[in-house]
A and B are shown apart, each in its own frame.
Chain A
Amino acid sequence: MQDFFELSLSAAASGCIYGLVALAYLLMIRPTGIINFAVGEWAMLGAFGGFLLLTKFEWPYPVGMAVVVALMLAVGWGTERLAVRPLMEKRAPLLAPILALLGMLVIFREAISVSFPPDPHPVPYAFEIQHQKYFIIAVSALVFAGFWFFFEKTLWGRSFEAVSLNRRAAALMGINLSRVTALSFAGGAGAAGLAGLLVSPNVSAHYLMGVPLAIQGFTALVIGGVGRVEGALLGGMLLAFAEQLTTRYAPIPSGYAQGVPLLFLMIFLLVRPTGLLRARAA
């Protein structure tokens, strides 16, 4: 029984990480419809930022964390400017920015790969190793609460929703589309970078960590649904619990245990493709 409690805590922490990555996707998909697979690499950048500032330069944790998040916001904004805005202005098909972002994925990963030695790099914990899970959960809760508040209660948040529902109508009502897009990318990068920073004390910062996180975050997004911010967190939690509980309790050889979340996902999609939580009606 104690096992179950410990495991729940661990799954909750992993769920938060997946949820943050799913949130990153969501922030960008909702106003623009663009699926940005580079979120995994953004998480990697957050992790390496943590390595540089916290391990190498030994800055105090809160300062390092704040600077990493700020840098990631800038990276997100920059990515949008470079890879997305020119294409939106040329009225390119939706596929084009998605592919441009895939190109950026390779660029980010390789830039890190050539700048650092290939081994994984340590990133320090915020407190002790045992407390990291609580820290992850606490920070994620704050982030999700913040975004929920932003979307539900603030005017800016409402304008985001408006853009998600109908871009043209929103533009006609005076909402600055390109600013919303830039902000959404900045926010997405911030969330992803934060996820990377939080998970890297455990998994270490290495240049191949992006793709698995991107896939897990995407899966969480599909489970939770694109409609609401809480959906991202819910999806992340469900995925993490499914993964970890199956590994721990299912009486099948562990090699097959990796396949179970995949099967679970496939079945889920067939039964409820729009995800668990639907968007609020306008």
Chain B
Amino acid sequence: MRKLFAALALAAFAANPYAQETIKIGVITDRVGVSKPYSEPATEGIAFGVDELNRKGGILGRKIELLIEDDQSRPDISAALARKLIDQGAVFILSMSLTPATQQQQTVTMEAKTPQMTPMNSGDTLTTQLQNPYFWQTGPLGSIQIATLLAHARSKSLKRVALITDNSDLGQLLGRFFKAGLEKSGIQVVAEEVVPRGATTAAPQMQKIRAASPDAMFMAGVLTAENVLIFKAYRELGLKLPIHSSYNLSVPIYMTVAKGLINGVTFVDAYDPEKPEVKAFEAAYRKATGKEPFNLHGYGYDGINMVAEAIRRAGSTDKEKIREAMQGLTYSGVMGAKGMKYSFPEGKRAGYDPNGMVVRVYEGDKQGKVVHVGQK
């Protein structure tokens, strides 16, 4: 009787093509902490991407299995979770949480020789602080953001500008790179202000900026509530300077929470709504989930598709082969300006094309068209 059972089981197993082992891809995201507003939509983009891939048969004939962990934006937990995913057999880890968390995970992936990628962190130091050949970053770097903003603002002949950011780690990092980029272009930063998390007003900082009479104001902050404080103080103090912002302003929440305050603000973005790939992505997402996607979903979607492509080209789930495939990958996805490709030339591991960002303007309360592309 037992032999018959075993034979039947084996037959059933062999007959089912999907009984093959899945390809496990780990995702470390934040479901409860400070990164949640960004991590949540981006991870939803990944989940959508995986569904799409699995419907088309998966990779190398095997289904993708997503192992999702929540690091609560706590970097020490992040590292432990990376180890957990590796122990569970993940061949690739996608880091969807804070920049310092991604950093922590790198010490683990470097030691365990496991490929890791962040499709949305923009901190420049992620690929330079540690020489980790298993780590790639395809989020738009802070240095690219400021260069693109400046290329657009070049026509306005800026000489003295103000820089304002917040005291989050990413805000400080972007602020540093923005300042460096500005000074490299020969522009003088006459006021540098910080709005701390939990502030009830940005009036003193904006007053200081007003007193310095700059030609324009650059925003490098990433905390939504604090950015809104800046806009409100700007309005209350009757300021009229042009505002140029980091990619943080591209998140659609500003259209509701900063209503009436952002007309004319320019910001860099990695999302061109007129791009055919974007239109197709939005339509497919809408159809599959009934919800409206925005740029954050796109980061996750591109991320998982690049990972899938790398595995496909490697032809196996051997981590070394995947690493080689990823390093040599050129990919064109949803994010970026028309025709942009991600690539990692000359052994670099930051893959966002330096000319791939676009500058957009808020028209009224709506995110307007692209007004500038790249760094030219």
Contacts and interface: CB of A to CB of B under 8 A. Distances in A.
Question: Within 8 Å by CB, do A and B touch in the complex?
Answer: yes
A203 B257 contact: no
A168 interface: no
6 contacts: A3-B210, A10-B204, A113-B36, A204-B228, A208-B34, A258-B194
Contacts of B193: 247, 254
B112 interface: no
A137 to B, nearest CB: 13
Contact of A202 (B200, B208, B210, B237): B200
A90 to B, nearest CB: 32
Interface string A237-269: 000100111011000011101100000000000
Nearest to A10: B203
Nearest to A207: B36
Interface string A193-205: 0000001001110
Nearest to B232: A202
B176 to A, nearest CB: 11
B263 interface: no
Interface in B221-249: 224-225, 228-229, 232, 235-237
A64 interface: no
Interface residues of A, number: 41
Interface in A8-29: 10, 13-14, 17-18
B317 interface: no
A180 B172 CA distance: 48
Given A14-B201, A17-B200, A129-B236, A203 B208 contact: no
Q: Which of A117, A253, A254 has the most CB of B within 10 A?
A: A254
B194 A110 contact: no
B269 interface: no
Contact of A10 (B32, B172, B201): B201
Given A216-B198, A254-B205, A203 B229 contact: yes
A206 interface: yes
Contacts of A216: 198, 200
Contacts of A225: none
Given A206-B224, A216-B198, A244-B203, 4 more contacts: A130-B236, A203-B225, A209-B198, A258-B196
B256 interface: yes
A202 B235 contact: no
B256 A122 contact: yes
A206 B225 contact: yes
A222 interface: no
B37 interface: yes
Interface in A98-120: 110, 113, 117-120
A30 interface: no
Nearest to A212: B198
Nearest to B34: A208
A248 B201 contact: no
A6 B236 CA distance: 10
Q: Which of B196, B204, B224, B256 has the most CB of A within 10 A?
A: B204
A121 B40 CA distance: 17
B161 to A, nearest CB: 15
Contacts of B172: 255
B229 A7 contact: no
A203 B224 contact: no
B167 interface: yes
Contacts of B159: none
Nearest to A240: B200
A120 B257 contact: yes
A120 B36 CA distance: 11
Contact of A245 (B34, B204, B259): B204
A7 B201 CA distance: 10
Contacts of A6: 203, 207, 237
Q: Which of B200, B211, B232, B253 has the most CB of A within 10 A?
A: B200
Given A130-B236, A245-B204, A247-B208, A255 B167 contact: yes
Interface string B184-216: 000000001110111111011101101100000
Contact of A257 (B36, B40, B194, B259): B194
A69 interface: no
A213 B197 CA distance: 10
A71 interface: no
Contacts of B229: 202-203
A171 B40 CA distance: 53
Given A110-B32, A254-B194, A122 B257 contact: yes
B211 A3 contact: yes
Contacts of B235: 129
Contacts of B253: 119-120
B202 to A, nearest CB: 9
A211 interface: yes
Nearest to A257: B194
Q: Which of A119, A212, A213 has the most CB of B within 10 A?
A: A119
A113 B236 contact: no
A119 B37 contact: yes
Q: Which of B32, B198, B237, B253 has the most CB of A within 10 A?
A: B198
Contacts of A258: 167, 194, 196
